[in-house]
Structure 1
Amino acid sequence: MGAVYKVGDSAGWTNAGHVDYKGWAASKTFHVGDIILFEYNNQFHNVIRVTHKNFNSCNTTAAYTTLNSGNDSFQIPRNGHYYFICGLPSHCQAGQRVDIRVPTTPNPCPPPPSPSGGIAPPISAPGMSPSSGIAPPVSAPGMSPRHSGASFTVNKLWWSVVVVVSIFGNAF
């Protein structure tokens, strides 16, 4: 379960008070799974999810979603931009619109730093030859190692790892 963000914080979703929704969204880091909460008076506002083009022009046609309960939530399903506007006349033009940007999540496991010599050490794993860095042939039951597609795939994978580490070892 992600974090819950109330659009506009204490002001909520409104066109009164000139809430800076662009600034509000820019001050947050949204992630997949987070919940965007729209709280508003449903007699005076609604929430319409639209395309980027319709967001820029405040056009409510061809909406992805229209919400109007006054207490609506949207859970972020994936990375990208999610554009929301109020569909009542002149509200979007007055600034009642928000672009929720969900950046691509960075790799949670950065590569380890290279040793001080600048050259990556040989990669070794159980069953590997430490001197070559290449995995020995692997075979499936009933297959000779010479005809095993698994051998080629494993060797190719380990060779790719060795090449990448050797080339980019100093960059990490």
Structure 2
Amino acid sequence: MALSRALIVALLTATIFPTISMATDFIVGDGKGWTVGFDYQTWAANKVFHVGDKLIFEYSTGEHNVFKVNGTDFRNCTVPAASQGLTSGEDVIVLETPGRKWYLCGVGDHCQNGQKLFVNVLPSETQAPSPSPLSSVLPVTVPRSPSPAPWSSPSSSPVLSKYRWVPRKLIAMFQP
């Protein structure tokens, strides 16, 4: 009996709660680094960026820089004040919030020649889990009386009957 309870707990944990993952470090442009003549949109297209991930811009100091800009400045290759640029040659940007992020090189016509990057950052995989499929099936209020739950009988609902074993504390975790 103890083994079957442990198995149930393990299965619940594995299916209801998301996998905790570590942040990913992305070297922008991979082996090419941050340079002119590279298609950064194609590079970013097959990657998924999350809050907590890092963008690492590698380039020869003095040849390039990195500016974080808004969408309009990105489209127009408008370079902000030089004091806002990153110039170390190994600039690390931590993606701290979800949403759209735009970066460009402010040297000469580098941006016009494609040295710019757009990424869409998703919420962290380690943030609180969103409601699971169980929450859309289970009732919003849990009966507190000793009377049987409305889904305890297989005849009451074929969908809800297979969830009759879910503990009330677990149900309460998924209520708003």
- Matched with 1:4 is 25
CA contact (8 A) 1:38 1:70 kept: yes
Local SS of the residue matching 2:85: strand
Q: Which residue of 1 aligns with 2:114?
A: 95
Alignment of 1:52-131 (within 5 A): 52-61=71-80, 65-104=84-123, 107-108=129-130, 110-112=132-134, 124=142, 128-129=144-145
Q: Is the 8 A contact 1:123 1:130 kept in 2?
A: no
Q: Identify unmatched segments of 5+ residues in structure 1.
A: 134-157, 165-172
RMSD across aligned positions (CA): 3.1
- Contact residue 99 and residue 120 of structure 2 kept, 8 A: yes
Q: Partner amino acid for 1:5?
A: F
Matched, 1:30 2:49: yes
Secondary structure of residue in 1 paired with 2:73: helix
By how many angstroms is 1:32 displaced?
Answer: 0.4
TM-score (norm 2): 0.62
TM-score (norm 1): 0.63
Is the contact between residue 67 and residue 80 of structure 2 (CA under 8 Å) also seen in structure 1?
no
Calculate percent identity across the aligned residue pairs. Answer: 38
Q: How many residues align?
A: 128
Deviation track 1:58-81 (CA, whole Å, cap 9, x = no partner) reads 001368941000011000111011
Larger RCO: Structure 1 or Structure 2 (Cα < 8 Å, ≥ 6 residues apart)?
2
Structure 2: gaps of 5 or more residues: 1-21, 150-171
1:51/1:63 Cα in 2 relative to 1: closer, same or farther (>3 Å)? farther
